[in-house]
Amino acid sequence: MEYPVRKLNELVTFRREVANCHKATIYDYISTENMLSDRGGVVEATNVPAKGKVKIFNKGDILISNIRPYFKKILKAKFDGYCSSDVLVLTPVSLSDEDYLYGVLSADTFFDYVTKTSKGTKMPRGDIDAIRNYSVPWPDHEMRTFIGEVYSTIDKKLDANKLINKNLAEFNFTGEKLREQ
């Protein structure tokens, strides 16, 4: 089914607020280094910048690595925090659309578009103007809510599976914790 489209910049705010880097900790800092490829989420940062500014994000914001977009690094923030300038921070204009927009922006279609319109060869970066003009399918509110709920359910299931896999890696079949080599 064909839906009308809207430009991404009509649906989100590209956040630019910054703070002193000394406010960031390894627990609330996200950079392209600790974002995982293929929509894998994020791991704890190994360090934070020692000088300069960091961008601010809030729980529910959509964070997208703007370096090498073909790695498909994206996440929906689960906490308030700080990030590097190489991470785009998108705040949905309507909170009721955040799950829908996260799902649309997680799709290969979006990353293929960003990769195709990126600038540079060694370390390509997404073209901000092209990203702002990305055409987002825009069904009626009821359909967006339904699709957003489906994306959210899948995301929760993936998070649960990651936790199960992490726990399984820590224990052998007898339930004894594996010895560190």
pLDDT tens by residue, 28-78: 999 999 999 999 899 999 999 999 999 999 999 999 999 999 999 999 999
- Residue 17, token pair as written in the block: 């607020």
Structural domains of the chain ordered from first start: 5-170 (3.90.220.20)
pLDDT tens by residue, 134-175: 999 999 999 999 999 998 888 888 777 777 777 777 765 555
pLDDT tens by residue, 69-120: 999 999 999 999 999 999 999 999 998 999 999 999 999 999 999 999 999 9
Compute the Cα dihedral for 152, 154, 157, 158 and give only its sign: negative
Cα separation, 42 vs 32, whole angstroms: 9
Tell me how crowded residue 105 is: count the other CB atoms within 10 A of its CB: 23
pLDDT value at residue 178: 53
Average pLDDT over residues 9-14: 97
Cα separation, 17 vs 13, whole angstroms: 11
Q: What pLDDT band is residue 27 in, cutting at 50, 70 and 90? A: very high
pLDDT value at residue 181: 42
User: Rounded to 5 degrees, what are φ and ψ at 29?
Assistant: -110, 135
Q: What pLDDT band is residue 176 in, cutting at 50, 70 and 90? A: low
